[in-house]
Amino acid sequence: MTANDPSSTSLQLTADGQLRHFLTLDGLNRALLTEILDTADSFIEVGERSIKKVPLLRGRTVVNLFFESSTRTRSTFELAAKRLSADVLNLDINTSATSKGESLSDTLLNLEAMASDMFVVRHSQSGAPHFIAESVTPGVAIINAGDGRHAHPTQAMLDMLTIRQHKGRFEGLKVAIVGDVLHSRVARSQIRALNELGAVEVRVIAPATLLPRDVESLGCTVEYDMARGMKDLDVVIMLRLQKERMEGALLPSEREFYRLYGLNREKLALANPECIVMHPGPINRGVEIESAVADGPQSVILNQVTNGIAIRMAVMSMAMGGQMAERSRRQEGRAQA
């Protein structure tokens, strides 16, 4: 399975074009991406109320199925599901049945037998959520919370929401993604979203060893020199140096990386004065970003976390709504037959 598999479109969308799974941004057009952002805007307002809950997923069961650990993503998905009034089950698979030898299919069958309505899946293998979406019972929604090097669509969408909040638009924006693009599933989803939403230029800034082959084919320009790359930027997105994914010696040293590609005040001064600084977290201070920048006035890193809850509420309620609408159409069809 590749990132551009055309079958993902029909898998993700109902016949009416409603979302029913959320696996990848591939095949989702600007109108649908904008609908996700607009819906998330409404959920941000819910987060400011005295009762931060709406009844959309009341009586539904959401299973957080994390085959790979993650604190922030899992807790924001959990909070998002709870604010939609769903019941939430958190499963860390590395510590449970699969370590006793149960296969993925058997684990899923057992969870489906508990009448789950939605699986939020994180997996180190690219394509795992896609595989689950193809094999799961009709009516159950699958949300991709990050798969291998393939995609991390909710992270990319919360970044888009943060950019829209601060810039008000995408047209004409120059955005750079800096650092370990090779191991980053977020970068792929971000490049896709920025292109679809109309950014004028998406730049990746990284050493050649941390760029995938044919990176330009994703829809971006490449810059190896950070000082040149920072020029005219409206948004700079720093990626975490994924030490746990490093295979072999891709870098001379962390210090050397920070000197060349770390974001400090001097380099940020080369961008537009209103340039915002983003980072998906967790940040490695002094490895890819200087503390004074991460905590500085141009940083919107904590807004990203807040927006993450709203974006996850949006895609969960849209996908569940699509599944339920499809289910009731099936029942009507059966009643008429």
Partner 1 sequence: MTALLDMDRLLDDLEAGLRKKLEERGVTSPALIGIRTGGVWLADVMSKRLGLQEPWGELDISFYRDDFSRIGLNPKVKPSSLPFSTEDRDIILIDDVIMSGRTIRAAMNEIFDYGRPASIILATLVDLGARELPVQPDVTGRVLALQSHQRVKLRGPDPLHIELQETGK
Q: Which stretch binds partner 1 (CB under 8 A): 126-134, 177-185, 260-268, 315-323?
A: 315-323
Q: How many CB atoms lie within 10 A of CB 133?
A: 22
24 annotated ligand-binding residue: no
The Cα–Cα gap between 131 and 24 comes to 13
* CB count in 10 Å sphere of residue 303: 16
Taking the C-alpha atoms of residue 135 and residue 171, their distance in angstroms, rounded to an integer, is 39
42 binds partner 1 (CB under 8 A): yes
- Of 55 and 297, nearer to partner 1 (C-beta) is 55
On whether 122 is known to bind a ligand per the annotation, the reply is: yes
User: Which of 5/35 has CB closer to partner 1?
Assistant: 35
- The least distance separating partner 1 from the CB of residue 61, rounded to whole angstroms, comes to 14
Residue 55 marked as a ligand binder:
no
Report the residue number, 284 or 307, with the smaller CB distance to partner 1.
307
* 245 labeled binding residue: no
Which residue lies nearer to partner 1 by CB, 308 or 322? 322
- Which one, of 84, 19, 27, lies nearest residue 52 by Cα? 84
Q: Which distant-in-sequence residues (6+ apart) come within 8 Å of 118 by Cβ?
A: 57, 60, 61, 62, 63, 81, 86, 140, 141, 142, 143, 316, 319, 320
The distance of closest approach from Cβ of residue 99 to partner 1 in the complex, given in angstroms and rounded to an integer, is: 37
Using CB under 8 A as the binding criterion, the count of chain residues that bind partner 1 stands at: 23
| 246 belongs to the binding site for partner 1 (CB under 8 A) | no
Two structure tokens written together for 13: 């969308």
Contact between 39 and partner 1 (CB under 8 A)? yes
Tell which one of 2, 38, 103, 106 touches partner 1 (CB under 8 A).
Answer: 38
**How far is Cα 26 from Cα 34, in angstroms, rounded to an integer?**
14
Which one of residues 2, 7, 30, 53 is an interface residue with partner 1 (CB under 8 A)? 53
Stretch that binds partner 1, among 35-43, 186-194, 221-229, 258-266 (CB under 8 A): 35-43
Dump strand ranges (E) for 50-106.
61-66, 87-92
- Smallest distance from the beta carbon of 33 to partner 1, in angstroms? 12
152 is in an annotated binding site: yes
Report how far apart, in Å, the C-alpha atoms of 258 and of each of 249, 252, 290 are.
16, 11, 9
From candidates 51, 113, 115, 335, binder to partner 1 by CB under 8 A: 51
- Sheet containing strand 118-123, edge to edge, reads 87-92, 61-66, 118-123, 141-147
322 assigned binding-site residue: no
* Nearest-angstrom CA–CA distance, 127 and 254: 31
Binding-site member from 109, 222, 260, 324 for partner 1 (CB under 8 A): 324
Q: Which of 252, 231, 233 is nearest to 241 (CA)?
A: 252
**Strands 118-123 and 61-66, bridge-based pairing:** parallel
State the binding string over 54-93 for partner 1 (x if CB under 8 A, else -).
Answer: xxx-------------------------------------
CB atoms within 10 A of CB 290: 18
Residues placed in the known binding site for carbamoyl phosphate: 72-73, 122, 152, 155, 281-282
Binding site for partner 1 (CB under 8 A): 18, 35, 38-39, 41-42, 44-46, 49-51, 53-56, 317-318, 321-322, 324-325, 328
Residues placed in the known binding site for L-aspartate: 100, 185, 240
